[in-house]
Structure formats: structure tokens, C-alpha cells
Amino acid sequence: MLAGVASGLAGYAGVDVLLVRIAFAVLTFLGGAGIPLYLACWLLIPAEGSSQSIAAGVAADLRGGGQ
């Protein structure tokens, strides 16, 4: 819903998106790992139709001096 992470992972794994969302919620409430995991996925998994992730784009901008 926020960044499409759960939907993308569910589509890739072939499971219902509700199961992935529940897994993130359970991980958040049982130890707090859900939120950092969600953010890491958002930064490291490319958006549909994109060739690079957000993190890769930022790294490329930093290497190229913003050009």
C-alpha cells in the first residue's frame, strides 16, 4: 500500500498479498524487524519496469557527481 513492496513480493512468490502483509505485521510486533525489512526491500528491490533500485540510483548519482 505504501511502496508496493508487499504486492511485489507476493507476485514474485506467487502468494496472496495479504499473507505478505501479515508477515510484515507479525515481524514488526514480534521483535521489530518488519519495518527495517520493509524499508530495505523498498530501497533494494527495483520498481516494476525499472532497471535499478532506489539505492542503486542514489549510488550511481553519487559516483557520477549528480550528472
Give the mean pLDDT per block of 10 residues along the chain (67 residues). Answer: 88 95 96 94 89 88 72
The whole model's pTM is what?
0.79
Write down the pLDDT at residue 67: 52
pLDDT at 2: 78
CB count in 10 Å sphere of residue 38: 19
Cα–Cα distance measured from residue 45 to residue 63, given in angstroms and rounded to the nearest whole number: 20
What is the rounded distance in angstroms from the CA atom of residue 35 to the CA atom of residue 26? 10
